[in-house]
Amino acid sequence: MKALTREQILSCDDLKTEEVDVPEWGGTVTVKMMTGQERDAFEASIVEYKGDKQQVKTDNIRAKLAAMTIIDPETKQLMFTVGDIEALGKKSAAALDRIFDVSRKLSKIASTDVEELAKN
């Protein structure tokens, strides 16, 4: 395998997307893989510190991950903002579960990763 240059690494398109059928909403959504920076922000957003203790906040986690990974298929821009998470969390649990599963798969977030955050 050949050694990559800095330019090759920075210019490659390495963020996968996947169409997710959401019959509850009457169509499909495009879910993207998170960047390293976005994944760090997601992980930081679900960790809460109370004194010297750390705990994982899982409330609305499905909507939060969906908001951070659903994109407009044409512009490749996120469709939702942090301000939309509460409203998105009030949508179908089945739909959010499906999107959550694809988002986790694309961004390589295992359930053990959430548990590991809680330990650390």
pLDDT one-digit tens code per residue, 3-57: 999 999 999 999 999 999 999 999 999 999 999 999 999 999 988 888 888 888 8
Residue type, 10: L
Catalogue all structural domains in the chain, each as residue range(s) with its CATH number.
15-119 (3.30.2220.20)
For 19, the token pair is 């169409």
Give the pLDDT confidence score for residue 13 in this predicted structure.
92
Query: ∠ at Cα 37 (53, 48), nearest 5°?
Result: 15
Q: Is the pLDDT of residue 116 over 70?
A: no
